Structure 1
């Protein structure tokens, strides 16, 4: 068995995503090896290819830290289902989890406003957007989201209101990105990861991504998608 055998890539991808979906964590080394015909070396080669194709993100120790919409560490959001607790990769990802995980149609998303520190807890389900005046701020444009994806995710946050966004931007010296109300955030999240837990999943092409953004009411240069989205 060669370490560069790509035939195991989809099995490894599914092992990663199913471990996160079922248990709220990345798969352990024995689980990865099992997914690659018993070889951890083959599994690690597959992980690197999957990372190169933007299916997941690895740290310097070859551990999975992101498999959108799931994260292996806190990036500002906890997502509590009836039986599972996840770290959400960002505001977008946290709202996406109940749409992706069949057994958890409703979750409690908890976070703090970066502007003032106010805690927020929102019930997010598949039926309708949560009520509230909170706003999501996306700092990094779609075409650059994978330039430094951990930075991107860490700066897709929920604020109390747009004035909190403006105060945070003034304090940090950053340029304003896109501001979404809860209904738009929910619409963006609801179908973006459809099929990701199934065999044969394919990432969206740029035109598909742009069309999806437009359906959510998101247009203009900030949402001009590239192959890296």
Structure 2
């Protein structure tokens, strides 16, 4: 039986290196275990909120996604799908071999093409804003729904137009600099052995340091 931490690292490091998740068969070969053990381990990792599964398929291993959810993240050698605005901006902070990436998407409000070079030094310039429809306290109720509605818009007018057309209540809006600070260290250590998810109090402290108001995390 393979250790869950070995399996977690194989999934995350596979995503980081290639932009895609290794298959169950590839993970089985890499870890010298049978596919039933891999499937069981993936289910345990999903229950611990390290992964999002669709059957045996890893759909998300934040900040990486195996399905397009609105963001491409292009490095010098690798193309990733970013699961959301937060994750797309996080990838260059996590993958140390890529000092910068090109994050590209479309504005949901007006369908304009949007792109930024995102690096580890400073936030990209621009008037655009990120809108998070689902509050932090409910993000894991339906992860794909949550990630599909963490989007980047040309400006707040585009946010408002989109909300009206789709009959949504306004969520949390932040500028690019705040999004960059949010993404900068959120996944720190995820590619190393022994990574631990933040407890709620630690997460709240992190959000405060990024300049996010209490309404972002449910206060």
Given the two structures, how large is their TM-score scaled by the length of structure 1? Answer: 0.93
Q: 1:70 to 1:15 in 2, by over 3 A?
A: same
Mark the runs of 5 or more structure 2 residues left unpaired by the alignment.
none
Write the deviation string for residues 8-40 of structure 1: whole angstroms up to 9, x where unpaired: 100110010011000000112232113543211
Note if contact 2:24-2:56 (Cα within 8 Å) is conserved in structure 1.
no
Deviation at 1:62, TM superposition (A): 1.2
Q: Give RMSD over aligned pairs.
A: 1.2
- In structure 1, the partner of 2:12 is 17
Matched position secondary structure for 1:122: strand
* Aligned partner (choices 106, 113, 123) of residue 112 of structure 1: 106
Q: Which aligned pairs between 1:17-96 and structure 2 lie closer than 5 A? A: 17-59=12-54, 61-96=55-90
Q: How does 1:136-147 map to 2 (within 5 A)?
A: 136-147=130-141
Instruction: Give secondary structure in 2 for the equivalent of 1:171.
Output: helix
Distance in 2 between residues matched to 1:30 and 1:15, nearest whole Å:
12
Could you say which residue in structure 2 is the equivalent of 1:204? 198
TM-score, with structure 2 as normaliser: 0.97
Q: Secondary structure at the match of 1:51?
A: helix
Segments of 5+ residues of structure 1 without an aligned counterpart are: none
